[in-house]
Amino acid sequence: MKHLHFIVIILGGLLFLTVSCKDTMTYADYLKAEEKAIDLFIESNNLTILKSFPADRVFEENEFYKDPTTGVYLNIISYGDTTRNLQWKEEVYVRFSGLHYFNTDDTTRYTNFYSTPEEIVYIGP
């Protein structure tokens, strides 16, 4: 009986060692790979990343502003109707083009410019 327990413990230990030594990417590795892919995309498309939002709110064709809190890159083409004041919890519809998801072996491109717009609820400045 003691030999059976010993064999089970040894097999469990070997199983633990083989499972724990897998060569997989950590979350930090994925973040580094994502940053590298974004930098490569910016460089290959000759994009200019602005440190501050343009004072006149006008973007050139290849200029993008990176929001420091979200990490989202913005290039606003049209502001829509800016004469209307938004009310509390009013729905705002956003259309965008050129959204890129960088996956491990593939890049997914998504545009909702001609489909149903995204919906944002305005809660104040």
- Residue-wise pLDDT for 61-111, tens only, equals 899 999 888 888 888 887 777 777 878 888 877 776 666 666 656 555 556
User: What is the gyration radius of the CA atoms in the chain, in angstroms?
Assistant: 25
- Amino acid, single-letter form, for residue 48: T
pLDDT at position 117 over 90: no
- How confident is the model over 43-71, as pLDDT tens digits? 999 999 999 999 888 899 899 999 888 88
Q: Where are the beta strands (DSSP E) in 11-102?
A: 48-50, 63-66, 73-74, 91-94, 99-102
